[in-house]
Amino acid sequence: MVVALGLLAALIVVADPGKVVDLLLKVDLKWIALGLCLWPVGVVLRTERWRYLLRKVGVNVPFIEAAKIYVAGLAISNITPAKSGDPLRSVLLKKVAGDRVGTTLPALIVERAFDIAAMVVIAGIPLFTVFGVRMQGLMTWFGAAVGVYAAVFAIAVYVLSSEGRTHTAINMIYRGLSWWPRVRKLEHRMSDFAASLHSSFKLYGSWSIMWRTAAFSLCIWTFEGALFWLSFQALGLGQAAQLPVAVIVTVSLSTLIAVLTFLPGGIGSSEVVAVAFLTSLFPLSVADVTAAALLNRFIGFWVYIVVGAGLLATMRYRYSI
């Protein structure tokens, strides 16, 4: 987090702190209020996608309970490297509702796979058809990111599609973490966990599940881009005809690249990508895009952290792991 905030601070220095502050002091607060009012829409979309995937493995969680767990889990995910805290959502679900981690964890894997696919579509099509001529450097980073994600998910699918390979992978992970006393206590559960993980993952193979999950994911990341555009509107910078499309592309592009930096929440790295992308397309200064990115962080990142931390602190845990 120190490195991430340091990178963000360096970007603000390059942008000129005085200009960034002047822009933020002139913000039209009605657009920020609109963004905060729309924030729950993103929570609903994400929660309903998760609940849909959980129902496919026989786990039924009431919406309010699922939303609380989702936001609390996302708060943890946003402050861990490369969103590595995501699996803790299954742990929270286990502690609150008693559902087995091995049963619910594949839903998170499927979510992430379709998030990546949605962002590749949203960023890739315009990048290669509309903006590509001027974007050779970012296109290279985009291609490299897609290659890494494709390799990771191909390995995950290969492992989880076989019960034997799933058992082998879980045993390897267990041996690697067996120095931790808490993990050693779970040794007798490893076999059941692997079997549950494999059987749940197999249930997500139907085309109807994939199409519906893809539709949810496309809506989620288009909505995230729309929230970022509200930040430009708040600064009085949203008049360019192609800017809404470019901003929606920016969110997916910067997230894809930023996650691979392993900085918590992609802080700093995603802002750098946004600045590089948008300043090359529009007559926007580094200060303009930086100020908009800071506003978007407030609406789409820090709200999750604050609300999620509050929920995590007040959540009632009824089951042990």
pLDDT tens string 1-23: 889 999 999 999 999 999 999 99
DSSP-based three-state secondary structure for 305: helix
pLDDT of residue 177: 84
Instruction: Examine residue 88 and state whether it is found in any structural domain, yes or no.
Output: yes
Instruction: Examine residue 8 and state whether it is found in any structural domain, yes or no.
Output: no
Give the model's confidence band at 262: pLDDT under 50 very low, under 70 low, under 90 confident, else very high: confident
Q: How many domains does the chain have?
A: 1
Instruction: Examine residue 2 and state whether it is found in any structural domain, yes or no.
Output: no
Percent of the chain's residues with pLDDT above 70: 98
Residue 135 has pLDDT above 70, yes or no: no
Highest mean pLDDT among 48-62, 91-105, 259-273: 48-62
Instruction: Examine residue 279 and state whether it is found in any structural domain, yes or no.
Output: yes
Give the model's confidence band at 125: pLDDT under 50 very low, under 70 low, under 90 confident, else very high: confident
Residue 252 has pLDDT above 60, yes or no: yes
Dist. CA 254–CA 142, nearest whole Å: 9
| pLDDT tens profile 147-157 | 999 999 999 99
| pLDDT tens profile 184-233 | 787 788 888 899 999 999 999 889 999 999 999 999 999 999 999 999 99
**Structural domain boundaries, residue 137:** 22-287+297-314
Instruction: Examine residue 16 and state whether it is found in any structural domain, yes or no.
Output: no
pLDDT of residue 162: 92
Instruction: Examine residue 320 and state whether it is found in any structural domain, yes or no.
Output: no
Instruction: Examine residue 209 and state whether it is found in any structural domain, yes or no.
Output: yes
pTM, 2 dp: 0.91
Round the CA-based radius of gyration of the chain to a whole number and report it: 20
Asked if 200 and 57 count as a contact pair (C-beta separation under 8 A), the reply is yes
pLDDT of residue 134: 61
Q: Give me the sign of the Cα torsion angle 33, 302, 260, 5.
A: positive
Q: What is the 3-state secondary structure (H, E, C) of 14-54?
A: HHCHHHHHHHHHCCCHHHHHHHHHHHHHHHHHHHHHHHHHH
* Mean pLDDT for all residues in the chain: 90
Instruction: Examine residue 161 and state whether it is found in any structural domain, yes or no.
Output: yes
pLDDT of residue 39: 94
Joined together, the tokens standing for residue 224 give 């995230």
